[in-house]
Amino acid sequence: MSLKRTCHHFFAVLAGALLLAGTAIAADYPEKPITLIIPLGAGGSHDVNARVFTSIIPTYLEQPMIVKLMPGAAGQTGTAAAVKAKPDGYTLIFTHNFIDQLQPLLETLPYDTTESLVTVARLNSAPGMIFVNADRPWKTLKEMLDYGRANPGKLKFATSGNWGATMTMGALVMIKEGVDVNYIPYKGGGPANQAVLAGDADFSVNFPGPLLPLEKAGKIRILSFSGKERHKDLPDVPTTEELGIPGSYMERIILAPRAIPEAELQTLRNAFVKMYEDKTFLNMMDKIGETTDYMSGPDYEKVRAQQKVDYQELVKKLSN
Amino acid sequence: MLEHLSEGLSLLMRIDTFVMTGFGLLLGMAVGALPGFTTVMAMAILLPVSFFMDPLVGIPFLIGIYKGGIYGGSIPAILINVPGTGASVATTFEGPALTKKGQSRKALDMALFASVIGDFSSDVFTILLMAPIAALALMVGPPELAAIVLFSLIIISGTTHGVFVKGLIMCAFGIFLSMIGQDPLGGMSRFTFGFFELKSGIPLLPLLIGVFALPEILVAVGDKTTAYIAGNKSIIQGSRLALRELTRCSKTIFRSTGIGIFLGMVPGVGQVVAAFVGYAAAKKASKHPETFGTGELEGIAAAESANNAVNGPTLVPLLTLGIPGDNVTAILLGAFVAQGLRPGPQLMVEQAPLMYALLLAMLFANLLFIILGYLTIPFFARVVSIPKAALLPVTAVFAFAGSYVFRSDPFDLVLLVFFGVFGFIARKLQFDVTPLVMGFILGPILEYSFGQTVNLAGGDMVSYIVLERPIAGVVFVLSVIAAVTILWGNYKKRKKSLAGDLAKNHGD
Amino acid sequence: MSDSVRTSAEADTGKKNWNFNTTIALIFIVFWGGVYFIIPYQIAKPKLFLGRSLMGLEPTLFPTISVILIICLSFWYLFVSKTIQEVNELIRMDKEQIVKTVVTIAAFCAYTQMFDSLGFIFSTILFACPLTIYFGTRNPITIALVSIVCPVLIYLIFSTLMHVYLP
């Protein structure tokens, strides 16, 4: 029975992909496959998220969405391509808030993301958590910060790479609290976690997915959780709200060139709304351990504007 | 543990697991054989398909793609001198030479058996020694990584073909090329000359395909013969591998497997480095090192068993801590999680029978692969009997498409042609491009891990290494010793050949 | 007597041994010497981070080391080049080979230009068809197989089955 079901699903996905490419649809847009640029590498969390939603969304767009991985220069290569793309609704980019809003403030780039790109939807967001190795003496965030203040430059912070998602999340807190820490860049969140587990670094920031099993096994201690309410599996971990520190999230967003015709943008946005009512989709996202806190395009545009202000302030503090 | 194993075994006895593993193996092999199309991409694309399957079907399916893909990469390396990945670069030392001798089938067979033996023993080793490996893997941090990469670079540069110093120059040039773009730690632009396209650096695939595939085409264009290999069509593919030839290499395979297992605990660099170090060790240990580079089956066995033996230990951090060490394990993590299995310290306890069933599935995948590979090799070996006039344009089309799909940037094609012409000139002037590729792959890892070490040390490098990182210190000392030995050996060899020349002149 | 023989032999080899390797070594020294001097202009300065450098390792360190290494190796190369006995195959190419190689490279360049603008299938037909004929195939079935069936097949495999983008 299991074999039959497996084969059925497997061939359904394959055949669907093949068929959709060839079918002509009566509606004007979209009449050909849509390209989704990911400015990050294969196998990352964006790639995995995209593989899930691009296998569902063709049902609502009536055209396939083809992933185009364009890693390089910390996301700049792919972003530049999305900005340069024809604004006909056939090129979208799947990125996150740090590439979108923070990076332009740090480097001179040949494009302006706010001016050139508009939000289609926010797929989901992941809350950041500060954690330490369980054998470290600090029981609360305050204890760790106190130690850091007393010993400037002694605390080792394993980041997911300079200006990567977790570094920014941690830096926001450290700057607000006036703690001078030693930033050690790793190649992504996984190696940074390993550095904390191995005792090479003191603390790091990451998301619930990878951290919860480690916490459960008693290998790490989680000191803070970004959010208004406590996480259901971590009733003892205080929220950033309670601690009075800035919370931080990685927001996975789908953007389109801003000059896209209004009707096309609406079609895309509607497709995402409908996809969020799809049980298979919700089920699959849950299976890969991601949240499904959808946010509509217009709502996220407001968040985006606020981010710009926040990051400008952050960078101003960092650079003097 | 034994009861878990037997429980796992009984879980595994189902036909759909085998069918899908086999399907994954074939798919992986086909994808790996396409230059430019990486196993990681194939796995990412097929990941959602595995969501719909039972854990005992979906995960073995992905593992099948992975294992098949690594072997697949050595097919074009052997047949047309185009390594699909960094891991199969070492295979080009012997593979194409064997193909030109008309022994392509033998070479493919040897690669298959060496791969499977290396992989199988590494998996067995991993299952038995999961906990110690996990502890050891945690001890490898940036300082150790830096020392190991330095050591490997020195060993690898000792195995270049042709003139020693020319190989070293190419290696240093490769390191320099890898620095174009953003520096790995701070993201500062280096040597971009104002080109935004260069900011992301030179991607590996256009360089790899450029220096290997295009010169191969350009050289063949100038050749007067019409077939890719001169000679009678019926003997082109050659005979199959004899058991005697396999047993002759058993020592080499054994050694390479050990090297591969050890390097599998080093995250990120494992496969590439293992293949080279395995090859270098085999050459060093051989009674007839002069046959290496001229089509020596033992060289293929050394490289292929080493890079496959890496597979087992790389899975350990994923299974025991839930930490993926590279992109492949990151995708496997996705597959596990999607099945409701969150890899981490508790998974091996809570779900022991299932986990052992999955580990056993890896062993079965190897056994299955021997059969499938053995049956499909004649099909692949036939590629070389395609007439040159048809094979060359097809190779070129694959080279271009393969360079493009990696990140869909037309600029990569410009780089491809540039490196093609560069590789052609280098080959004609007797420069070996392999050290260039090695320097290019390992240079950034060395710089990155060295930079992290500087940060970790917080100013006092020497006392940090000596007091807190003794392993790194020991490997570093070993590298210095290796460098001196290689230089001294080279000096003596040169002196000897010079004396020989002089004596010859006297004789005249 | 034996002394004079040796000197003449040495002089002989000395003259004969100015070879292409020596020339390349000299070119390398000049070229990489030049690269060494542009390093400071081609590497951006790190931004300061709360008064301390974000990273301990200067971005100039490794490039400087590698360039100095290449220069040192080039001097070594220059030193040993006289004793290297290799054939410069680039000069030994005859006219036909040069023409064929240049035409093929030109085809590569043209293909690069067409690839993105004309799309994969069309540019491949334009690239592979003449090249197949140029390499000596006259059989129309082979030509069609290489230049039309092959690109269409690659395109279908990559974009529909594998969901990877090709223009």
Please check whether residues A120 and A87 belong to one and the same domain: yes
CATH code: domain of residue A93:
3.40.190.150
* Sequence-distant (≥ 6) Cβ neighbours of residue B507 within 8 angstroms: none
**Which chains reach chain A with 3 or more Cβ–Cβ distances below 8 angstroms?**
B, C
What are the phi and psi torsion angles at A102 (to 5°)?
-80, -45
The residue count for chain C = 167
Residues of A in contact with C165 (CB under 8 A): 35, 66-68
| Alpha carbons A177 and B406: distance in angstroms, whole number | 43
Please check whether residues A256 and A195 belong to one and the same domain: no
Please check whether residues A220 and A166 belong to one and the same domain: yes
What pLDDT does residue A110 have? Answer: 80
Question: Does C166 fall in a domain?
Answer: no
- How much of chain B is in helix, strand and coil states, percent to nearest 5? 80, 0, 20
Classify each residue of B401-410 as buried b or exposed e, where b means 16 or more C-beta atoms within 10 Å of its C-beta: bbbbbbbbbe
Average pLDDT of chain C, as a whole number: 74
3-class DSSP state for residue A249?
Answer: strand
Is A213–B322 a contact, with Cβ atoms under 8 angstroms apart?
Answer: yes
The verdict on C45 touching B (C-beta cutoff 8 Å) is yes
Identity of the residue in C5, C57, C101 whose CB atom sits nearest the CB atom of B185: C57
Q: Which two tokens stand for residue A224?
A: 């803070």
Q: Which helix (H) or strand (E) holds A258?
A: none
Higher pLDDT, B115 or B220: B115
Residues of C in contact with A18 (CB under 8 A): 160-161
- Name the residue ranges covered by the structural domains of chain B: 2-507
The residue count for chain B = 508
Residue where one domain finishes, among candidates A222, A243, A264 = A243
3-class DSSP state for residue A232?
Answer: coil
Residues of C in contact with A181 (CB under 8 A): none
| Alpha carbons A233 and A214: distance in angstroms, whole number | 13
| Backbone dihedral region for residue A250 (phi beyond 0: left; psi -120 to 50: alpha; all else: beta) | beta
Please check whether residues A297 and A263 belong to one and the same domain: yes
* Sequence-distant (≥ 6) Cβ neighbours of residue B191 within 8 angstroms: B179, B180, B181, B198, C42, C43, C63
pLDDT by residue for chain A (320 residues), tens only, comes to 344 444 455 444 444 444 444 433 335 777 777 888 888 766 667 877 887 888 888 888 888 787 877 776 677 878 888 888 888 888 899 998 888 888 888 777 788 888 889 999 998 888 889 999 999 999 999 999 999 999 888 888 988 777 677 787 888 888 888 888 888 888 777 788 888 988 889 999 988 877 887 888 888 999 999 888 888 888 888 988 888 887 788 889 999 998 898 888 998 998 999 898 888 888 888 777 777 888 888 899 998 888 888 888 877 776 65
Residues of C in contact with A185 (CB under 8 A): 55
Most confident among A73-82, B222-231, C60-69 (mean pLDDT): C60-69
The verdict on B290 touching C (C-beta cutoff 8 Å) is no
Confidence of residue B238 (pLDDT cuts 50, 70, 90): low
Please check whether residues A8 and A101 belong to one and the same domain: yes
In terms of CA atoms, which chain C residue is nearest residue B222? C97
In terms of CA atoms, which chain B residue is nearest residue A156? B456
Q: Between chain A and chain C, how many beta carbons pairs sit less than 8 Å apart?
A: 36
Question: Does C108 fall in a domain?
Answer: yes
In terms of CA atoms, which chain B residue is nearest residue A76? B200
Question: Does A62 fall in a domain?
Answer: yes
| Backbone dihedral region for residue B187 (phi beyond 0: left; psi -120 to 50: alpha; all else: beta) | left
| Amino acid (one-letter) located at A117 | L
The verdict on C136 touching B (C-beta cutoff 8 Å) is yes
| Alpha carbons B13 and B24: distance in angstroms, whole number | 18
| Alpha carbons B160 and C18: distance in angstroms, whole number | 24
Question: Does A24 fall in a domain?
Answer: no
- The count of other CB atoms within 10 Å of the CB of residue B161 is 15
In the numeric block, the tokens 């080391």 are attached to: C65
Residue where one domain finishes, among candidates C35, C51, C81 = C81
Q: CB burial class (10 A; 0-12, 13-18, 19+) of residue B367?
A: exposed
Confidence of residue B384 (pLDDT cuts 50, 70, 90): low
Please check whether residues A75 and A117 belong to one and the same domain: yes
Please check whether residues A199 and A313 belong to one and the same domain: no
Long-range interactions of A135-141: CB distance < 8 A, separation 24+: A135/A199, A136/A202, A136/A203, A136/A221, A138/A221, A138/A223, A139/A221, A140/A223, A140/A238, A141/A223, A141/A224, A141/A238, A141/A243, A141/A245
The verdict on C159 touching A (C-beta cutoff 8 Å) is yes
What pLDDT does residue C45 have? Answer: 65
**Which chains reach chain B with 3 or more Cβ–Cβ distances below 8 angstroms?**
A, C
| Alpha carbons A304 and A98: distance in angstroms, whole number | 11
Residue where one domain finishes, among candidates A197, A223, A243 = A243
The verdict on B177 touching C (C-beta cutoff 8 Å) is no
Is C20–B183 a contact, with Cβ atoms under 8 angstroms apart?
Answer: no
Confidence of residue B417 (pLDDT cuts 50, 70, 90): very high
Please check whether residues A95 and A236 belong to one and the same domain: no
Residue B448, min C-alpha distance to chain A (Å): 9
Q: Which helix (H) or strand (E) holds C83?
A: none
What does each C-alpha distance from B202 to A223, B262, B400, C107 come to in angstroms?
A: 40, 30, 16, 23
Query: Into how many domains does chain C fold?
Result: 2
For A291, the domain range is 2-18+29-126+249-318
Is C120–B392 a contact, with Cβ atoms under 8 angstroms apart?
Answer: no
In terms of CA atoms, which chain A residue is nearest residue B410? A81
In the numeric block, the tokens 């900005």 are attached to: A83
Q: Which helix (H) or strand (E) holds A67?
A: strand A65-69
* CB A180 within 8 Å of CB A186: no
Q: Which helix (H) or strand (E) holds C143?
A: helix C140-144
To probe the interface with C, which of B27, B154, B165, B173 has the most C CB atoms within 10 Å? B165
| Alpha carbons A132 and A157: distance in angstroms, whole number | 10
Please check whether residues C48 and C111 belong to one and the same domain: no
Please check whether residues C60 and C105 belong to one and the same domain: no
What are the phi and psi torsion angles at B226 (to 5°)?
-90, -30
Residues of B in contact with A219 (CB under 8 A): 321, 345
| Alpha carbons A112 and A114: distance in angstroms, whole number | 6
Please check whether residues A144 and A62 belong to one and the same domain: no
* Sequence-distant (≥ 6) Cβ neighbours of residue B246 within 8 angstroms: B110, B113
Residue where one domain finishes, among candidates A196, A216, A243 = A243
Report the candidate in C105, C130, C143, C125 with the shortest Cα–Cα distance to residue B222. Answer: C105
Report the candidate in B129, B126, B436, B445 with the shortest Cα–Cα distance to residue B269. Answer: B445
Taking CA A303 as the corner, what is the angle to CA A298 and CA A308, rounded to the nearest 5 degrees?
125
What pLDDT does residue B267 have? Answer: 67
Is C70–B37 a contact, with Cβ atoms under 8 angstroms apart?
Answer: no
| Alpha carbons B140 and A200: distance in angstroms, whole number | 10
Query: Into how many domains does chain A fold?
Result: 2
Query: Does residue A30 have a cis bond before it (omega within 30 degrees)?
Result: yes
| Alpha carbons B250 and B113: distance in angstroms, whole number | 11
| Alpha carbons B490 and B481: distance in angstroms, whole number | 14
Please check whether residues C58 and C30 belong to one and the same domain: yes
Please check whether residues A93 and A115 belong to one and the same domain: yes
In terms of CA atoms, which chain B residue is nearest residue A202? B456
The verdict on B1 touching C (C-beta cutoff 8 Å) is no
What are the phi and psi torsion angles at A132 (to 5°)?
-130, 165
Question: Does C86 fall in a domain?
Answer: no
Question: Does C89 fall in a domain?
Answer: no
Residue A50, min C-alpha distance to chain B (Å): 10
**What is the tens place of the pLDDT at every residue in C105-117?**
888 888 888 887 7
β-bridge partners, A185: A159
Identity of the residue in A17, A66, A180 whose CB atom sits nearest the CB atom of C165: A66
Q: What DSSP line would sit under A76-114, residue for residue?
A: HHHHHHHHHS-SSSSEEEEEEHIIIIIHHHHS--S--HH
Residue A213, min C-alpha distance to chain B (Å): 6
3-class DSSP state for residue B418?
Answer: helix
Q: With 50 as the cut, is the pLDDT of residue C8 above it?
A: no
Is A194–B323 a contact, with Cβ atoms under 8 angstroms apart?
Answer: yes
What does each C-alpha distance from B351 to B319, B343, C23 come to in angstroms?
A: 11, 10, 66
Is A43–B330 a contact, with Cβ atoms under 8 angstroms apart?
Answer: yes
CATH code: domain of residue A210:
3.40.190.10
What pLDDT does residue B151 have? Answer: 86
- How much of chain C is in helix, strand and coil states, percent to nearest 5? 70, 5, 25
- Using CB atoms and an 8 Å cut-off, which of residues 15-74 of chain B contact chain C? 31, 37, 41-42, 45
* Sequence-distant (≥ 6) Cβ neighbours of residue B343 within 8 angstroms: A213, B318, B319, B320, B321, B322, B333, B336, B337
Question: Does A23 fall in a domain?
Answer: no
Please check whether residues A304 and A155 belong to one and the same domain: no
Q: How many CA atoms lie within 13 A of B441 on its CB side?
A: 27
For C20, the domain range is 2-81
What pLDDT does residue B504 have? Answer: 55
Residue B341, min C-alpha distance to chain C (Å): 27
In the numeric block, the tokens 């040192």 are attached to: C72
**What is the tens place of the pLDDT at every residue in B149-194?**
888 888 877 777 777 888 888 888 998 888 887 776 666 777 777 7
| Alpha carbons B363 and B365: distance in angstroms, whole number | 5
3-state SS record for B146-174: HHHHHHHHHHHHCCCCCCHHHHHHHHHHH
What pLDDT does residue B418 have? Answer: 92
Q: How far apart are the first and last CA of chain A?
A: 65
Question: Does C35 fall in a domain?
Answer: yes
The model's pTM is 0.79
DSSP state of A292: -
Q: Between chain B and chain C, how many beta carbons pairs sit less than 8 Å apart?
A: 201
| Backbone dihedral region for residue B238 (phi beyond 0: left; psi -120 to 50: alpha; all else: beta) | left
Q: Which two tokens stand for residue B64?
A: 């099948």
Is C54–A54 a contact, with Cβ atoms under 8 angstroms apart?
Answer: no
Report the candidate in B294, B282, B305 with the shortest Cα–Cα distance to residue B88. Answer: B305
**What is the tens place of the pLDDT at every residue in B443-466?**
888 888 888 888 888 767 777 777
Please check whether residues A154 and A121 belong to one and the same domain: no
- The count of other CB atoms within 10 Å of the CB of residue B72 is 29
* CB A206 within 8 Å of CB A129: yes
- Using CB atoms and an 8 Å cut-off, which of residues 264-283 of chain A contact chain B? none
Residues of A in contact with B146 (CB under 8 A): none
* CB A172 within 8 Å of CB A248: yes
- Using CB atoms and an 8 Å cut-off, which of residues 185-224 of chain A contact chain B? 185-187, 190-191, 193-195, 197-198, 200-201, 209-210, 212-214, 216-217, 219
| Alpha carbons A189 and A167: distance in angstroms, whole number | 10
Is A13–B48 a contact, with Cβ atoms under 8 angstroms apart?
Answer: yes
